[in-house]
Structure 1
């Protein structure tokens, strides 16, 4: 009797086991077909195939949740319409001929034309432009601007962490809102999770501040939207005339991630006055409508000031990226700029995981005689990124690229300087996540004085860095090299 039950159980087990294997290999086959059909680079395609085949089940789940660029049907259907509406609005306002620039330097002309043709918004004039490298100085200036606001304040950050000087900004916003200034605040759900669990949410809402939690993490919707998609933009707009953007999150650097032992985060922010705030306002309005369904457009309260102010810089081109925006626009712009360089390229980025095309462009520039300096952190808050970045060092050093490892904290600045004239600053890192996934904002600034200031800042970074030598790098251990190559296959996840 027991033997019969045992035999029946074993047959049932074999059937179930066969079904599971059958379903598993069907899934593997479907995912493999999907990977091959997607227009990805050869290295990315190979890496995903290895992940799927080497890591049973887990590899398939990684691909489903972390590769497909799905932002939800409703969001996808609305994105293009919202952006197109904003572009048409800004191109048809009365003072549009006054706010757009028509002339650029030789190195910037192709970049500005490319962005205009893809995005629909030309380069925009700027009255004042200043770089800040001290978080304390940025916050002090920001609080003064908030206190002087007359009409509206719009703020967007990836991370807002309460405590220290960040609370002073919150207090300034509350005072402004109580004085009748219309204040809006957009924060990423994952990046600002500590903020959304703090008392500040209720306090600020009670003061009349509108707060929106973007890209909320919802386990019930994991099959409807990619869960690691993030709103990574950092934008501040005051009275549609003053605007800030750059790499800084709204945190106190003396408190933020101090437990991981890498020192303070080193950031760069740009403060601008002039019509550029209107163009950036279109990006903010688009993101706001996507999350709330409510349409807002910049109210040009300084129209007369914009129309009659003649002291403008060459111009700034905004580059907005993310799902639903112009596909891989940052990638196209950077490739165009690097291949156009004839003298010098300076790059600072905390996370360096370039595409094959970008790596080839950088190496090609160095080989044709362009001086290329890449400044990255010696210490990094991401162990995986730290290892994967090293995979590219040999090719770069062999091509003549100078690699400097910043040792006085985590260098979080995202900047590129081309031929002492064209500067790129913003929120995008040189990694797959920023180039292809997250919502980012980058500024292309065509101005020699700004570029000179940025160059001086980058020189200071280099002074605080250790230069990597090819001979010494080649002598690293076999196991070190093996680890680099093994972890490189996970670069599509970064």
Structure 2
């Protein structure tokens, strides 16, 4: 009997090392950055069995067979819809200011989405203003409401939005609500979700979490976009989930979440509507293109050219990081960035350093307290390198700064759902707007300045004097930064 158990042990060890060898080969042959590959090899070897399981769960960008096939089949029809925008008189590359011409060229060639003029924008920077504005627009809806969010949390003014959707559905407005299954897990079992569905609101879980399907789809791939489109006339996007911060994560010890949203009218609304339609079809298989935009633009009043930049599985790889790299590297005077989660790719890190080293004022505003301990420590691992290059780092103390924004030379800006971390840049479904409008950009820049006033600037000399324990924790979590 002893010999049997001995043989069984040897067989188990042999099978384990065969699996490890197979996973190692798979990690090596996947074409990605060396730092990501080395991080996964370290996890696999340091954490026996657990490391292999983690790799199958989180190691590869796998949308799942059904969704992947559907996304692949969708790309050409949607690209054809986007390319029709080139004939819209809101697309005037020869008259669009040159600040975003290079970004317009990239997105048009890679995704088929051109920058469009003739929009109006409103920057909304308080939860009360945002949620009440959404309710007012829902009350005016006549035909269709499309919404998608990562987190939908009941409580406070968020319930007023849910109630407005119920009323809209009862008066015959079709309401298509797409919510991430992991981010909104509690909401799906709430009474508000049941009331919405009973009233005819179509509530669909995006990317349902099922551990038994870990070999078929990456579990931490999330639907992170925040989009609202009403009658293809009004749209919202930005950093805020469908939550009232006074009722959301109050016990997390990081303060209230601080967000912004942008209210938009004009041709860009239809582009955001098409992105929602893309996500709806990926999840449900149902296709419904939005109406093409009405492009009756006054040639003498070409306001607010906007480039919509989506990313995610099935869409052109690395597009948002390319846009960020182009924007930051072309800055001539200043770059001001806000992000709650700062774990940059090596490419983005070097772009920030190089931009600061050539004399551009680069400011980074991130929350002092983070709801992710691992991300908080990993972020600090980049401080020394950035500070030595001349990057100014502000730690926001007024809550969890969740706004995702970049202002370039106080002339144009990027605003949307994208964090400066590997997850947003490489993995999740995201969307950002590149807005070439001086007035709107100035409003966003002033808002960033209010964030700086509520922050403490990191002093390079004092940072060098931090404790050995502090340095150890930074480096320990930094090793995992490529996979956070």
Q: Same fold (TM over 0.5)?
A: yes
Alignment pair present for 1:315 and 2:295: no
Matches within 5 A, 1:159-178: 159-178=151-170
Structure 1 Cα separation of the partners of residues 179 and 16 of structure 2? 39
Structure 2 Cα separation of the partners of residues 194 and 146 of structure 1? 24
Instruction: Choose which of 192, 209, 228 in structure 1 pairs with 2:201.
Output: 209
Structure 2 Cα separation of the partners of residues 331 and 89 of structure 1? 24
Structure 1 outlier segments of 4+, above 6 Å: none
Aligned length: 482
Alignment CA distance shift 1:437-1:238 (3 Å): same
Partner SS state of residue 46, structure 1: helix
The residue that corresponds to 1:378 in the other structure is 368
Q: Does structure 2 retain, via aligned residues, the 8 Å contact 1:267–1:412? A: yes
Alignment pair present for 1:20 and 2:12: yes
Note the alpha carbon deviations across 1:421-440, whole angstroms, 9 max, x for none.
22111111000110111100
How large is the RMSD of aligned CA atoms in angstroms?
Answer: 1.5
Q: How far is the alpha carbon of 1:308 from its aligned partner?
A: 5.2
Partner SS state of residue 406, structure 2: strand
Alignment CA distance shift 1:90-1:366 (3 Å): closer
Alignment pair present for 1:448 and 2:438: yes
Structure 2 Cα separation of the partners of residues 375 and 51 of structure 1? 31
Partner SS state of residue 442, structure 1: strand
TM-score (norm 1): 0.95
Partner SS state of residue 288, structure 2: coil
Matches within 5 A, 1:98-109: 98-102=89-93, 103-109=95-101
Alignment pair present for 1:55 and 2:47: yes
Instruction: Choose which of 233, 250, 257 in structure 1 pairs with 2:242.
Output: 250
Q: How far is the alpha carbon of 1:309 from its aligned partner?
A: 5.2
Q: How far is the alpha carbon of 1:202 from its aligned partner?
A: 2.5
The residue that corresponds to 1:142 in the other structure is 134
Structure 2 Cα separation of the partners of residues 344 and 411 of structure 1? 21
Q: Structure 1 residues 366-375 or 125-134, which shifts more?
A: 125-134
Alignment pair present for 1:295 and 2:287: yes
Q: Structure 1 residues 118-127 or 403-412, which shifts more?
A: 118-127
Q: Does structure 1 retain, via aligned residues, the 8 Å contact 2:56–2:214? A: no
Q: How far is the alpha carbon of 1:352 from its aligned partner?
A: 0.1
Indicate the structure (1 or 2) with the bigger Cα radius of gyration: 1
Note the alpha carbon deviations across 1:117-176, whole angstroms, 9 max, x for none.
110111122431111110100111111111112221111111001111100001111111
Structure 2 Cα separation of the partners of residues 185 and 45 of structure 1? 37
TM-score (norm 2): 0.97
The residue that corresponds to 1:110 in the other structure is 102
Q: Does structure 2 retain, via aligned residues, the 8 Å contact 1:434–1:440? A: yes
The residue that corresponds to 1:391 in the other structure is 381
Alignment CA distance shift 1:308-1:317 (3 Å): closer
